[in-house]
Amino acid sequence: PVSAILEAAEEHRADVIGMSGLLVKSTVIMKENLEELNTRGLADRFPVILGGAALTRAYVEQDLHEIYAGEVRYARDAFEGLRLMDALMGVKRGVPGATLPELKPRRVKATTTAVVTEPEEPGEGQRVSRSDVAVDNPVPEAPFLGTRVVKGIPLKDYASWLDEQALFKGQWGLKAARGGPTYEDLVANEGRPRLRGLLDKLHTESLLEAAVVHGYFPCVSKGDDLIILDENGSERTRFTFPRQSRGRYLCLADFFRPEESGETDVVGLQVVTVGSKIGEATAKLFEANAYREYMELHGLSVQLAEALAEYWHARVRADLGIAGSDPAAMDGMFRTEYQGCRYSLGYPACPDLEDRAKIADLLRPERIGVHLSEEFQLHPEQSTDAIVVHHPEADYFNAGGRR
Ligand code: B12
């Protein structure tokens, strides 16, 4: 909460406040926090730096700058954050010539020349209620209905599902510099050896407690809804997903048999975690100011949560008897060249994080030590949930516009 941020800023006599917005929801929170700083008359005292995946430069430097009575800037990465700190401190200390970087204007096409041609929209009264997704695909037989808990999954089972590129580039920031080693050299000489060392450490110190709760549920679809049924065929709960407003008019519900077909479909749900011990280990490194080690271990732990989710998804495909078209090589897996799709709530096809509560109700992940917070975040952090869809046409798609 913003009050805790402000208390800490006062206590440590901070010069600048930095906030990170990782979730779409946090874009709204950033705005509210800045308004709160305005209300408390603190805008003059605290310049603000904002970063994180959910924010864009235009949103921060145009929209938020407009409402904040103090200075606010966007940092693309930690290094831009440092440059901004230098500039802000220069201005604060009155260093001659010190200025803040110019605000970046939003790049918009000139309205006089831009002609926006909307793809054909269905007319009034013709709202598309279903896409052309096939409804005659075979429905696989689930190995059981209901939920199961699996604990103590060994690291060696899911380590090979680690997406090295996401780890090295996304988390560890390995990047070729001009005149320096190439990315491939960095991976060979730094990335892989450090990764091997860390995986050994995780294993010998038993820092991972990988566990899964998963289940198969009978279901049908109705319009934009996926209806989960109980054993008597009555409605247990329902998810409502956004439908694309053009193109194929896809909606996640379309990948399940419609109610009027009289048939019942099956959906998989899963929550995976690598446990809470790893969070304690990374927190210790952070407190000891061992930032590099922290960043490497934390980055690896979050990618291992993702690896576990992907590994489990493969087991579900095998259980459902649809693993026949799985690609032979791992990079094909990362490109999702298999039958079906694992949709995590919060992603574009199913953006509502509130729906995580329905998954938690159905799976009861507290049985593997995972809890859903009021902000719909799973704790421990290195956990992720998913709706597993078997339909051969299921793939990632964007159904924006109804967030
Ligand atoms: C790795 C990852 C995960 C990991 C770990 C998450 C974590 N805690 O770190 C796992 C697999 C666990 C995960 C899970 C989930 N994730 Co995720 N995840 C990502 C991913 C791919 C990368 C995030 C990351 O670690 N980046 C690396 C760090 C170092 O980079 P960064 O955060 O961007 O920060 C850098 C800069 O932005 C900048 N910066 C950031 N903040 C600040 C602040 C200041 C002051 C400064 C100066 C700079 C700065 O500096 C940093 C270093 O350069 C993002 C997509 C993306 N590309 O960002 C999605 C993303 C964050 N996840 C998303 C979602 C939806 C989820 C889940 C809710 C999915 C689910 N249903 O299970 C869960 C939530 C987990 C939970 N516990 O509840 C969405 C969130 C969008 C939304 N709807 O709100 C994202 C944006 C993906 C997307 N495109 O939709 N996720």
Identify the residue whose C-alpha is closest to ligand 1 atom 6: 302
Residue with more model confidence, 112 or 400: 400
Identify the residue whose C-alpha is closest to ligand 1 atom 42: 51
Identify the residue whose C-alpha is closest to ligand 1 atom 24: 171
Tens digits of residue pLDDT in 344-355:
999 989 999 999
Peptide bond before residue 348 is cis, with ω within 30 degrees of 0 = no
Q: Calculate what percentage of the chain has a pLDDT beyond 90.
A: 81
**Least confident range of 21-30, 94-103, 131-140:** 21-30
Distance 163 CA to ligand 1 centre (A): 15
pLDDT value at residue 399: 85
Ligand 1 atom at shortest distance from the alpha carbon of 306: 11
Does residue 258 have a pLDDT over 70?
A: yes
Distance 20 CA to ligand 1 centre (A): 10
Distance 53 CA to ligand 1 centre (A): 6
Confidence band for 122, pLDDT divided at 50, 70 and 90: low
Per-residue tokens: 86: 């230098």
How far is residue 67's CA from residue 105's CA, in Å, rounded to a whole number? 15
Task: State which CATH number among 3.90.10.10, 3.10.196.10, 3.40.50.2300, 1.10.10.10 fits the domain covering 146-389.
Answer: 3.10.196.10
Distance 234 CA to ligand 1 centre (A): 37
Characterize 371-380 residue by residue with b for buried, 16 or more Cβ atoms within 10 angstroms of its Cβ, and e for exposed: ebeeebbbeb
Per-residue tokens: 48: 């603000």
CB 106 within 8 A of CB 62: yes
CATH 3.10.196.10 placement within the chain: 146-389
With a Cβ cut-off of 6 Å, ligand 1 is lined by 18, 20, 22-25, 49, 51-54, 75, 77-78, 81, 170-171, 302, 305-306, 344-347, 351, 377-378, 381-385
Distance 21 CA to ligand 1 centre (A): 9
Per-residue tokens: 149: 């808990």
Q: Which residues pair with 378 in a beta bridge?
A: 372
**Average pLDDT value over all residues in the chain:** 92
Tens digits of residue pLDDT in 207-218:
999 999 999 999
Q: Which CATH number is 2-93 given?
A: 3.40.50.280
Ligand 1 atom at shortest distance from the alpha carbon of 378: 78
Tens digits of residue pLDDT in 46-67:
999 999 988 999 999 999 999 9
Confidence band for 24, pLDDT divided at 50, 70 and 90: confident
Distance 52 CA to ligand 1 centre (A): 8
Residue with more model confidence, 215 or 112: 215
Range 142-166 average pLDDT: 96
Ligand 1 atom at shortest distance from the alpha carbon of 271: 72
Identify the residue whose C-alpha is closest to ligand 1 atom 32: 52
Does residue 222 have a pLDDT over 60?
A: yes
DSSP 351-395: --GGGHHHHHHHH-GGGGT-EE-TTS-EESSSEEEEEEE--TT--
Does residue 78 have a pLDDT over 90?
A: no
Confidence band for 108, pLDDT divided at 50, 70 and 90: low
**Least confident range of 129-133, 233-237, 281-285:** 129-133
CATH 3.40.50.280 placement within the chain: 2-93
Range 10-27 average pLDDT: 90
Identify the residue whose C-alpha is closest to ligand 1 atom 50: 77
Q: Calculate what percentage of the chain has a pLDDT beyond 70.
A: 94
Tens digits of residue pLDDT in 304-338:
999 999 999 999 999 999 999 899 998 899 888 99
Burial of 180 (0-12, 13-18, 19+ CB in 10 A): exposed
How many CA atoms does the CB half-sphere of 216 hold within 13 Å? 17
**Least confident range of 97-106, 125-134, 158-167:** 125-134
395 CB neighbour count, 10 Å cutoff: 15
Residue with more model confidence, 123 or 237: 237
CB 103 within 8 A of CB 61: yes
Identify the residue whose C-alpha is closest to ligand 1 atom 54: 53
Identify the residue whose C-alpha is closest to ligand 1 atom 47: 81
pLDDT value at residue 113: 42
Identify the residue whose C-alpha is closest to ligand 1 atom 13: 384
Ligand 1 atom at shortest distance from the alpha carbon of 23: 84
Range 369-376 average pLDDT: 91
DSSP element (H, E) containing 228: strand 225-229
Distance 166 CA to ligand 1 centre (A): 12
pLDDT value at residue 121: 55
pLDDT value at residue 120: 52
Task: Specify the pTM.
Answer: 0.86
CB 136 within 8 A of CB 257: no
| Closest by CA position to 60, among listed 71, 46, 74 | 74
Ligand 1 atom at shortest distance from the alpha carbon of 381: 77
Return the ∠ at Cα 185 (arms to 181 and 191), rounded to 5°: 115
Place of tokens 């409605």: 235
Contacts within 8 Å (CB) and 24+ apart, 313-316: 313/270, 313/342, 313/386, 313/388, 314/161, 314/338, 316/214, 316/268, 316/270, 316/388
Return the ∠ at Cα 41 (arms to 36 and 46), rounded to 5°: 80
